[in-house]
Chains A and B, each alone.
Chain A
């Protein structure tokens, strides 16, 4: 079965600091990976996704994530965070064959950025 771990549950940064949120998954086969973001009072929306090709994926608002197959990781990064990046971030994985097409989500990371 597929699973996702997000090790940082709460992250607090000052504006302009660099961000890296960890995401590790457990599944040995083909995976598609996603990062979703939930801004305060808003619904979940896609930040970026990886399904094949270049393992460095760029998303909206300056975010990027790198898929490292050997480490089963898909960490989210941003060089310089802004106050508006305050949100909950969720990593998710789809896996096949043998896994589930139903995305499995991590527990989420709460990011607070102080101005």
Chain B
């Protein structure tokens, strides 16, 4: 079946502009995660959804970052007033169900964001 998809694959924007990144998880996966991958920094957790609610937003780096999920499916990560340090690859992952630790995450291809 279809995997996790993300759009756009690449986004170049000017400093100060707002951007929206989209994630379509695997159908039926109730848990959804956003990570940020910077060169040499590994994966930085941003936010996690269980259904449409976000029990853990602890990783969001500032109030310029927000995310929502609707219909228990598509999620959008919004970055307002982008800064150059926001440049990174933003990864989305979904998992069948939270609370079962051994379930693996399935990752999307990521959105490469470049802020000029």
Whether both chains belong to one complex is answered with yes
Contacts A34-B104, A101-B99, A102-B48; is A43 near B42 (CB within 8 Å)? Answer: no
Q: Does B108 lie at the interface of the complex (its beta carbon under 8 Å from any beta carbon of A)?
A: yes
CB closest residue in chain B, given A110: B40
Q: Does B101 lie at the interface of the complex (its beta carbon under 8 Å from any beta carbon of A)?
A: yes
Contacts A9-B40, A43-B110, A44-B91; is A103 near B102 (CB within 8 Å)? Answer: no
A58 partner residues in chain B, CB cutoff 8 A = none
Contacts A43-B107, A107-B41; is A101 near B102 (CB within 8 Å)? Answer: no
In the bound complex, CA of A101 to CA of B95 (Å) = 11
In the bound complex, CA of A46 to CA of B45 (Å) = 18
B48 partner residues in chain A, CB cutoff 8 A = 102
- Contact call A49/B42, Cβ cutoff below 8 A: no
- Contact call B56/A49, Cβ cutoff below 8 A: no
A66 to chain B, nearest CB (A): 17
> Residues of B with Cβ closer than 8 Å to A?
3-4, 33, 35, 40-43, 45, 48, 56, 91, 93, 98-99, 101-102, 104-105, 107-110
12 contacts between A and B (CB under 8 A): A30-B101, A36-B107, A43-B107, A43-B108, A49-B102, A52-B102, A90-B42, A94-B102, A101-B101, A102-B33, A104-B45, A105-B35
